[in-house]
């Protein structure tokens, strides 16, 4: 069996019956692979981006995916899937460094290897800086969903998302956003939650909704781990600067950098967004974690982070090396290379299966007894470096915030689930909340948990003002 798959790693395409015969036992029917065609290379230098340090894994090499690796990757991805839909996901580093022509070839290989009836979706994560007419015409023509990285209005975005001269990149990113809009390309906003924007959830969300016209938004907590030995260097950032060499970031240490989001503050940020969304935007704007939480009430897990197990989100480096996960591109988690071993075999390997089941099997006692465990499932293993309330190691650093968000949002989430079960749209929750708000009155505590009066918090319906630090759009501290 192993030999058959190994030979297929370099042979031409296989048909369905051959695929069924060689499929390793317990091979997943689908997975979501993130491919990094330019490795970790990027054209900007965000201060919190430890992915930049991954170039240390492949010193003295030009980090560009070859045509042979591209073809092998696309072919194996399509022949591995047993579901009708497959996602081809590009990420980095910065994938636009590969030029449009590379992705034209990728689309060509998809057409060459697509099985009858197989539907292929393309996604592309970018900092937006190189987007121009040519890129956006290409995205539109092939129906790409583009993820654009923005951390909020200029003052917040420019704190950490800087170029190599430490200048803010906001204007450059907005040029990219204008190109996407001009060509009608579907885009989603990927926003990190970090020490600079963590107190401004609603202002950040309103900026995306009202000024960028975003319909899909994803929030990702910035958590940069460090040890006593590395914390000083880590606080200076991951780029190679005079006086120190880039160090390879690995998921080790129990300290976090100054740029990392505060544990409780992450939940406060999410609730700040949620209380705005649930009053105005249900069914109109899609915030990934809110969808994920609602689906979890039906026992469906759309996101590995809050699923009971994981292991179906591998990362592919430019040279064909496959790693357990995008967050574990480090030596101990290299599964193999797709030129030598078929990716399906690597994914079905005992190491990768253990990687996925450890997420459930290493939960702390506090997680196992937690009343929101079915929604949270202990979060991502990369963040489990804190101690639980009982002092048990391996607990999620973000627990205080996750617990706060899942508990605080639960009544509205359950109302939406009940509406859906009864055949009504979840968006009917907005009318129900409007009635509750009237009953509550303006001077009662705001349900977001801020401790502020409702009238001055999420009951404030005044038209949105531009964000300026220190203005009333600024959020409280927790
Ligand atoms: S380690 Fe975290 S990000 Fe990676 S697959 Fe598991 S849950 Fe997802
Ligand atoms: S909220 Fe905290 S205790 Fe509960 S499952 Fe999540 S990480 Fe574990």
Q: What's the chain look like in SS3?
A: CHHHHHHHCCCCCCCHHHHHHHCCCCCCCCCCCEECCCCCCCCCCCCCCHHHHHHHHCCCCCCCCCHHHHHHHHHHHHHHCCCCEEEEEECCCCHHHHHHHHHHHHHHHHHHHCCCCCEEEEEEEECCCCCCHHHHHHHHHCCEEEEEECCCCHHHHHHHCECCCCCECHHHHHHHHHHHHHCCCCEEEEEEECCCCCCCHHHHHHHHHHHCCCCEEEEEECCCEECCCCHHHHHHCCCCECCECCCCCCCCCCEECCCCCCHHHHHHHHHHHHHHHHHHCCCCCEEHHHHHHHHHCCCCCCCHHHCCCCCCCCEECCCCEEECCHHHCCHHHEEEECCCCCHHHHHCCHHHHHHHHHHHHCCCHHHHCCCCHHHHCCCCHHHCCEECCCCCEEECCCHHHHHHHHHHHHHHHHHHHHHHHCCCCHHHHHHHHHHHHHHHCCCCECCCCCCCEHHHCCCCCCCCCCCCCCCCCCCCCC
- Among 352, 370, 355, 443, which residue's Cα sits nearest to residue 406? 370
Cα–ligand 2 centroid distance for 333 (angstroms): 25
What span, in angstroms and rounded, lies between the C-alpha atoms of 253 and 229?
A: 9
Q: Residue 462 above 70 pLDDT?
A: no
User: Is the predicted pLDDT of residue 436 greater than 80, yes or no?
Assistant: yes
Q: Quick: pLDDT tens for 259-268.
A: 999 999 999 9
**Using CA positions, which residue lies closest to atom 1 of ligand 2?**
403
Question: Mutation test of ligand 2: which of 375, 403, 409, 410 has the most ligand atoms closer than 8 Å to its C-beta?
Answer: 403
Q: Which residue among 301, 359, 372 has the greatest number of ligand 2 atoms within 8 angstroms of its CB, and so is best to mutate?
A: 372
Distance CA 142, CA 135 (A): 11
Q: In sequence order, which residues have a C-beta less than 8 Å from that of residue 459 and are 6 or more positions away?
A: 437, 442, 446, 453
Question: Taking 50 as the threshold, does the pLDDT of residue 2 lie above it?
Answer: no
Ligand 2 contacts CB of residue 408 (under 6 A):
no
pLDDT of residue 208: 98
For residue 392, what pLDDT is reported? 98
pLDDT-based confidence at residue 10 (cuts at 50, 70, 90): very low
- pLDDT higher than threshold 90 for residue 146: yes
Q: Is 353 exposed, middle or buried (0-12, 13-18, 19+ CB in 10 A)?
A: middle
**428 is a catalytic site residue:** no
Asked whether 341 and 374 are in contact (CB, 8 A), the reply is no
Q: From the alpha carbon of 370, which atom of ligand 2 is closest?
A: 4
Is the pLDDT reported for residue 328 higher than 80?
A: yes
**Mean pLDDT of the region 344-371:** 97
Instruction: Name the more confident of 19 and 62.
Output: 62
Ligand 2 pocket, residue 398 CB under 6 Å: no
Which ligand is in closest contact with the Cα of 356? 1
Q: Evaluate if residue 464 carries a pLDDT over 80.
A: no
The protein residue with its alpha carbon nearest to ligand 1, atom 7, reads: 305
Which residue among 373, 383, 401 is best mutated to probe the pocket of ligand 2, counting the most ligand atoms within 8 A of its Cβ?
A: 373
pLDDT at position 291 over 50: yes
CA of 354 to the centre of ligand 2 (A): 21
- The residue contributing the CA closest to ligand 1 atom 2 is 380
Q: Is 8 in the pocket of ligand 2 (CB under 6 A)?
A: no
Residue pair 137/116 in contact by the 8 Å Cβ criterion? no
Report how far ligand 2's centroid is from the alpha carbon of 161 (Å): 30
Query: If pLDDT is split at 50, 70 and 90, which confidence band does 19 have?
Result: low
Residue 469 has pLDDT above 60, yes or no: no
pLDDT for position 466:
54
Q: Which residue, 217, 141, 239, is CA-closest to 184?
A: 141
Per the confidence metrics, is the pTM higher than 0.75?
Answer: yes
Work out the number of other CB atoms within 10 angstroms of the CB of residue 277.
22
pLDDT for the residue numbered 441:
87
Q: Which of 43-52, 134-143, 219-228, 338-347 has the lowest mean pLDDT?
A: 43-52
Distance 357 CA to ligand 1 centre (A): 11
Confidence of residue 477 (pLDDT cuts 50, 70, 90): very low
Q: Report the pLDDT value the prediction gives residue 4, as an integer from 0 to 100.
A: 33
Per-residue pLDDT tens digits for 213-259: 999 999 999 999 999 998 988 898 876 555 556 677 888 999 999 99
Average pLDDT of every residue of the chain: 91
Binned at pLDDT 50, 70 and 90, residue 50 comes out as confident
Residue 61: the pLDDT is 77
Q: Which tokens belong to 98?
A: 């590969």
Give percent of the chain above pLDDT 70. 90
pLDDT at position 15 = 53
Placement of tokens 């749209």 in the chain: 425
At 173-202, the pLDDT tens digits run 999 999 999 999 999 999 999 999 999 999
Contact 96, 126 (CB under 8 A): yes
Q: Which two tokens stand for residue 69?
A: 């690796």
Atom nearest to 313 CA in ligand 1: 5
Place of tokens 């009858």: 116
Predicted local confidence at residue 225, as pLDDT: 95
Q: Which ligand is nearest to the CA of 406?
A: 2
Ligand 1 pocket: which residues have CB below 6 Å? 304-305, 310, 313, 325, 327, 359, 380-382
Pairing of strands 225-226, 255-256: antiparallel
Find the 423 Cα to ligand 1 centroid distance in Å: 34
Is ligand 2 within 6 A of the CB of residue 396? yes
Q: What would the mean pLDDT of 87-96 be, rounded to a whole number?
A: 95
Confidence of residue 463 (pLDDT cuts 50, 70, 90): low
Q: According to the model, what pLDDT value does residue 248 have? A: 78
Nearest bound ligand to CA 32? 1
Token couple for 197: 């924007």
pLDDT digits (tens, 9 = 90+) for 369-420: 999 999 999 999 999 999 999 999 999 999 999 999 999 999 999 999 999 9
What pLDDT is attached to residue 5? 39
Residue tagged active-site, from 151, 281, 321, 326: 326
């Amino acid at each position: 069996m192993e030999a058959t798959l190994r030979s297929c790693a370099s042979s031409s395409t296989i048909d369905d019956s051959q695929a069924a015969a060689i499929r390793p036992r317990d091979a997943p029917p689908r997975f979501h692979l993130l491919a990094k065609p330019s490795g970790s290379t990027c054209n900007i230098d965000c201060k919190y981006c430890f992915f930049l340090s991954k170039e240390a894994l492949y010193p003295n090499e030009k980090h560009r995916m070859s045509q042979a690796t591209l073809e092998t990757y696309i072919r194996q991805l399509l022949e591995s899937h047993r579901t009708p839909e497959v996602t081809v996901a590009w990420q980095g580093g910065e994938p636009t460094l590969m030029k449009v022509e590379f992705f034209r070839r990728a689309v060509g290989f998809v057409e060459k290897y697509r099985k009858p009836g197989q539907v292929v979706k393309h996604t592309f994560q970018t900092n937006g800086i190189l987007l121009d007419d040519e890129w956006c015409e290409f995205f539109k023509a092939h129906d790409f969903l583009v993820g654009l990285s923005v951390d909020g209005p200029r003052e917040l975005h420019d704190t950490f998302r800087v170029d190599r001269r430490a200048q803010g990149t906001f204007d450059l990113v907005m040029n990219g956003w204008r190109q996407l809009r001009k060509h009608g390309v579907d885009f989603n906003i990927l926003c990190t939650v970090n020490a600079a924007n963590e107190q401004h959830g609603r202002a950040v969300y309103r900026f995306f909704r009202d000024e960028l016209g975003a319909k899909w938004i994803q929030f990702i907590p910035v958590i940069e781990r460090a040890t006593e030995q590395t914390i000083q260097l880590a606080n200076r950032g991951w780029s190679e600067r005079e006086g120190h060499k880039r160090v390879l970031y690995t998921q080790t240490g129990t300290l976090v950098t100054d740029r990392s989001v505060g544990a409780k503050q992450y939940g406060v940020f999410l609730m700040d967004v949620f209380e705005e969304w649930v009053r105005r935007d249900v069914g109109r704007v899609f915030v990934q974690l809110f969808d994920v939480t609602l689906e979890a009430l039906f026992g469906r897990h759309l996101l590995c982070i809050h699923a009971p197990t994981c292991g179906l989100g591998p990362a592919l480096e430019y040279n064909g090396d496959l790693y357990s996960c995008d967050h574990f591109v480090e030596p101990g988690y290299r599964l193999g290379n797709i030129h030598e071993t078929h990716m399906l075999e690597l994914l079905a390997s005992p190491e990768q299966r253990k990687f996925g089941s450890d997420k459930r099997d290493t939960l702390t006692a506090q997680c196992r007894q937690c009343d929101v465990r079915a929604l949270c499932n202990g979060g991502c293993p990369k963040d489990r470096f804190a101690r639980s309330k009982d002092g048990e190691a391996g607990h999620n650093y973000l627990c205080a915030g996750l617990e706060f968000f899942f508990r605080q949002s639960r009544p509205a989430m359950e109302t939406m689930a009940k509406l859906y079960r009864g055949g009504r749209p979840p968006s009917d929750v907005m009318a129900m909340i409007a009635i509750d708000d009237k009953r509550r009155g303006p001077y009662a505590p705001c349900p977001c948990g801020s401790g502020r009066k409702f009238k001055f918090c999420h009951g404030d319906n005044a038209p949105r003002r531009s964000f300026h630090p220190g203005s009333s759009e600024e959020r409280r501290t927790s």
